[in-house]
Amino acid sequence: MPHPSPTSTPTGSLTDQEIATQPGDWRTAAALAASGPAGLPRRGERVAVVGCGTSWFMAQAYAALRESGGHGETDAFAASEFPAGRRYDRVLAITRSGTTTEVLRLLDGTDLPSTAITACTDQPVAAAADHLVDLGFADERSVVQTRFATTVLALLRAHLESEEALPAGVRPVAEAAADAERAVDWQVPDELVALEQVSFLGAGWTNGLAQEAGLKMREAALAWTEAYPAMEYRHGPVSITAPGRAAWMFGELPAGLADEVAAVGGRLVADSGAGGLDPLADLVRVHRLAVALAAHRGLDPDRPRNLTRSIVLG
């Protein structure tokens, strides 16, 4: 059965509806950060940030932001790969559902001070963490995470901002939210929906965004995507790019990369960074693209294949 024609119009899915609330959610998160919720990392603490899937990629982005802003050594781990015996001043866990098995096992098994950011404070994470930060206003009914993940990062960015130590070139959350409004209204070009493959690229804190962009496209639309640090793209992955395929850069484009993508016939998307969208708002555009591509392929982004809202292991 042939796919329907490409479309850039909203699908009416839960995922689409939740994507649209992100600018307001980020502003709410910024206000919450300004109120000083207990348990968020203090300047100078040595912090491990953990999560699974999307939450791990947000942990990566935050860890890079926090450390590059001079707040203290910050590492990000998949919860299942936390290095036993390594000492930190705080473990910060991200779990939308509050039921993710690997996160709960880590929190239950550590004697380190711990904080969990969650949308579900009535779940087992409440007993496992020393402190909870409640983002229930950004919870989702869809399986595919969009607004919860970006709102976590908006909260943590705003917390860094409140301590007047955002890394150079990183904008206040208020500006990111304004850019997200533009991203929500963005009309997805049909030529992007028609792409065969996309390689998402990042640098520093946007590496986590690139990883998350690739995951989102795979989850919602079963798309072939890759994700790499921008400077590593030249070391082999550029061979994937060709006519009908694209490289999508989050943040500043490294010198010479545009020419390399053009030389192999690929399409370059590089609309964030200085003078463009905030990279976190650019991730909202990928959310829009993932939903549009799912519709093009006759898929339901609210019910991705082989996935559930929370991974609970036996």
**What is the Cα–Cα distance from 77 to 224, expressed in whole angstroms?**
25
- Which one has a higher pLDDT value, 272 or 7? 272
Q: Looking at residue 206, what is its pLDDT?
A: 98
The stretch 208-234 carries a mean pLDDT of 96
**How many other CB atoms sit within 10 Å of the CB of residue 271?**
18
> CB-based contacts of 309: which residues, under 8 Å, 6+ apart?
96, 97, 143
Question: Which structure tokens are listed for 203?
Answer: 């640098």
For residues 101 and 99, what is the distance between their CA atoms, to the nearest angstrom?
6
> Is residue 65 helix, strand or coil?
helix
Q: What is the pLDDT of residues 271-306, one digit of tens each?
A: 997 889 999 999 999 999 999 999 999 998 888 765
Q: How far apart are CA 139 and CA 142, in angstroms?
A: 9
Which residue's entry shows tokens 């300004």?
Answer: 34
Residue 240: DSSP 8-state: G
pLDDT one-digit tens code per residue, 166-203 = 888 899 999 999 999 999 999 999 999 999 999 999 99
**Whole-structure pTM value:** 0.93
| Closest by CA position to 197, among listed 150, 145, 261, 252 | 261
Q: What average pLDDT does the chain have?
A: 92
Q: What does the alpha-carbon distance between residue 39 and residue 35 come to, in Å, rounded to a whole number?
A: 12
